Amino acid sequence: MDALMRMAAAVSALGAALIALAVGAAPSALASAPWLAVPLLAAGAGQLAVAVLALRGRPLAVASLLGPLALPTVLWVGALVLLPTAAAALPLGPMLAESALALGAAALLARPRGARERLEPRPLPALLTLACTAAVVAAIATAALAGTEAGRHAVPHGEHGQHQQQEQPGEAPQLDESLLDEHDHH
């Protein structure tokens, strides 16, 4: 069971890291609140390291978890209380999602290990745990990333250079010559 919880925590830490990096790397956050953005970037890198180490099954000291996993939440909440106008540079939704994923990962990884911890979980429970955790984390992280500056500038899926044509039912689609010109394929 401990190995399954460790896998779930690693996936959660990975989702938190992606959000922390996206929020911290935003030009608006770096310009208006670098004292929040720079630690957020460092914590995102630390969260990636925690995720990799947890997936590899390495035992992690509780103190090494709290820095990268709890630091963004502590800084952000502290800034909201002490300097709310400066903390407004960070988006609320993504920061709440990052906090939830990071603190959830910290709670799972900080649990005391059982004396009979299995090094390798059975394949089916491991696969189901990984798939379910990945689905939940992906839903949370995708919504959070959409609320970041990078998400606001992203091209919607399916619209990467495509031009929509109206086709009649049963008619073969026609080649749009402008696509060849755009991508220099003559």
Average pLDDT of the segment spanning 14-38:
91
Distance CA 82, CA 48 (A): 29
In a domain, residue 90? The reply is yes
In a domain, residue 126? The reply is no
Burial of 16 (0-12, 13-18, 19+ CB in 10 A): buried
Cβ contacts of 103 within 8 Å, gap of 6 or more: 69, 70, 73
pLDDT > 90 fraction of the chain, expressed in percent and rounded: 39
Domain count, the chain: 1
Residue 172's region, left for phi above 0, alpha for psi from -120 to 50, else beta, is: beta
Residue 159 pLDDT: 65
In a domain, residue 139? The reply is yes
Both tokens of 93, joined, read 């939704």
In a domain, residue 182? The reply is no
Lowest-pLDDT range, 34-43, 58-67, 116-125, 155-164? 155-164
Q: How would residue 5 be classed by pLDDT, with cut points 50, 70 and 90?
A: confident
Average pLDDT of the segment spanning 99-126:
79
Both tokens of 62, joined, read 């509780």
In a domain, residue 33? The reply is yes
In a domain, residue 155? The reply is no
Q: How would residue 35 be classed by pLDDT, with cut points 50, 70 and 90?
A: confident
Q: Is the pLDDT of residue 178 over 80?
A: no
Q: Which residue has the higher pLDDT, 62 or 52?
A: 52
Whole domain around residue 19: which residue ranges? 2-112+134-149
In a domain, residue 158? The reply is no
Residues 39-66: b if buried by 16+ CB within 10 A, e if exposed: bbbbbbebbbebbebbbeeeebeeeebe
Helix (H) or strand (E) holding 102: helix 92-110
Residues 149-166: b if buried by 16+ CB within 10 A, e if exposed: bebeeeeeeeeeeeeeee
8-state DSSP, 155: P
Average pLDDT of the segment spanning 125-134:
89
Q: Is the pLDDT of residue 136 over 90?
A: yes
In a domain, residue 56? The reply is yes
Q: Is the pLDDT of residue 142 over 90?
A: yes
Nearest to 54 by CA among 125, 92, 109: 109
Nearest to 108 by CA among 163, 46, 60: 60
CA 44 from centroid of its chain's CA atoms: 9
Lowest-pLDDT range, 21-35, 77-91, 103-117, 166-180? 166-180
Question: Is the whole model's pTM more than 0.85, yes or no?
Answer: no
Mean residue pLDDT across the chain: 83
